[in-house]
């Protein structure tokens, strides 16, 4: 199984390779793109991107020297027709410079790249929302070679898709970013924090009223506040526990470390670490965590022992017991097991 890890600066490449990454992925926002379209929306991250095509070329060379592959992210849900030529040019330059694959979500862009650049390796982004074997078959016919599954698929579903993948690689999430709803079908607002933040965080002021706009009882108000507090607690976990870390720098937040044994047995090709825009240490410590669990399994550890080891890396069993950090809660580790 490969570890696919994020970078946003060339200086992170060697560190991620040393931490155990086999594959790296990045975004790029060329200055000519900004000048041409008056936007930095080349992919789904406004931050955490390389700043030029020249830097992208240097990153490809650095990644290959470090013994890793480099993928470029072009994963917006949809691109307008005016962007198609620029996207094709960017993908072609990436491929000709030795880039290893592009990560794409927009169906129209998948078709365009396969038709115009048939030698380019295409990975389907989780944003495309491919979550069954029929979808995998559909995208195989369009030239996709790897499908990155959404965060909300179950292990049973992953195993079924892996058995029927027929040569298509599967990649699944293992650490960091969580989505409260489903990013592939989400078209809601993601405002700056000072304006309320993403709509799912629900930080906008409000008052409790009944259906006719009248004040409600104190008892009902108390119950609603308790429910809101539970929701806020769940959100805290889904958004990386406030992006906090252990004293050793290991990140809290959405996690699938306990499921790695089962994912490996299923034949999953790669586990994905999210968070291109995160600090360098957060990225490298994330990679080190995954590598440590894989090393345990490769040394012969049983799945439950490897899961206990994964929990011990953070030394905060309460977070794991909550189940709120789990990508795959069906393998949630319990202290009494």
Render pLDDT for 247-288 as a digit per residue (tens, 0 to 9).
888 999 899 999 999 999 999 999 999 999 889 999 999 999
pLDDT band at 196 (very low <50, low <70, confident <90, very high): low
CA gap 334, 266 in Å, rounded: 23
As assigned by CATH, the class of the 2-178+249-331 domain is: alpha beta
Give yes or no for residue 337 having a pLDDT over 70: no
CA–centroid distance for 3 within its chain:
12
Q: Quick check: helix, strand or coil at residue 142?
A: coil
Q: Where are the domains of the chain?
A: 2-178+249-331, 193-238
Give yes or no for residue 110 having a pLDDT over 70: yes
**pTM for the whole structure:** 0.91
Distance, first Cα to last Cα, the chain? 26
Mean pLDDT across the stretch 215-219?
Answer: 92
Give yes or no for residue 146 having a pLDDT over 70: yes
Report which of 100, 112, 70 is spatially closest to residue 276, judged by C-alpha positions. Answer: 70
Give yes or no for residue 39 having a pLDDT over 80: no
138 DSSP assignment: H
pLDDT band at 331 (very low <50, low <70, confident <90, very high): confident
**Alpha-helix residue ranges (DSSP H) falling in 239-316:** 240-243, 260-266, 280-298, 303-314
What pLDDT digit, counting tens, does each position of 291-313 carry? 999 999 999 999 999 999 998 99
Q: Residue 36 corresponds to which tokens in the numbers above?
A: 């041409």
Mean pLDDT across the stretch 66-74?
Answer: 97
What pLDDT digit, counting tens, does each position of 229-239 carry? 998 888 888 88
pLDDT band at 319 (very low <50, low <70, confident <90, very high): confident
**Mean pLDDT estimate for the chain:** 90
């Amino acid at each position: 199984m490969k570890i696919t890890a994020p970078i946003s600066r060339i200086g992170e490449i060697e560190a991620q390779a040393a931490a155990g990454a086999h594959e790296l992925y990045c975004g790029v926002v060329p200055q000519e793109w900004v000048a041409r379209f008056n936007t930095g929306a080349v992919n789904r991250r406004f931050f955490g991107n390389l700043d030029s095509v020249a830097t992208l070329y240097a990153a490809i060379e650095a990644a290959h020297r470090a013994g890793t592959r480099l993928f470029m992210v072009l994963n917006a849900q949809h691109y307008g027709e005016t962007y198609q030529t620029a996207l094709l040019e960017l993908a072609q330059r990436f491929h000709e410079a030795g880039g290893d694959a592009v990560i794409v979500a927009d169906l129209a862009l998948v078709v365009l790249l396969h038709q115009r650049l048939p030698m380019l390796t295409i990975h389907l982004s989780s944003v495309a929302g491919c979550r069954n074997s029929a979808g995998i078959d559909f995208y195989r016919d369009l030239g996709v070679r790897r499908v990155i599954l959404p965060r909300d698929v179950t292990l049973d579903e992953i195993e079924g898709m892996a058995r029927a993948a027929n040569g298509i690689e599967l990649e699944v999430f293992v650490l960091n970013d969580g989505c409260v709803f489903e990013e592939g079908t989400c078209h809601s607002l993601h405002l700056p924090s000072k304006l309320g933040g993403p709509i799912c965080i629900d930080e906008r002021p409000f008052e409790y009223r009944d259906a006719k706009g009248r004040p409600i009882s104190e008892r009902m108000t108390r119950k609603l506040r308790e429910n809101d507090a539970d929701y806020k607690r769940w959100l805290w976990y889904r958004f990386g526990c406030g992006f906090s870390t252990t004293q050793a720098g290991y990140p809290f937040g959405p996690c699938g470390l306990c499921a790695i044994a089962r994912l490996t047995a299923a034949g999953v090709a790669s586990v994905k670490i999210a968070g291109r825009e995160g600090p360098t240490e957060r990225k490298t410590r994330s990679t080190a965590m995954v590598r440590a669990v894989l090393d345990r399994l490769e040394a012969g550890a049983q799945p439950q022992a490897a899961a206990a080891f994964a929990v011990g890396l953070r030394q905060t069993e309460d977070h794991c017991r909550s189940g709120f950090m789990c990508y795959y809660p069906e393998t949630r580790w319990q202290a009494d097991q």
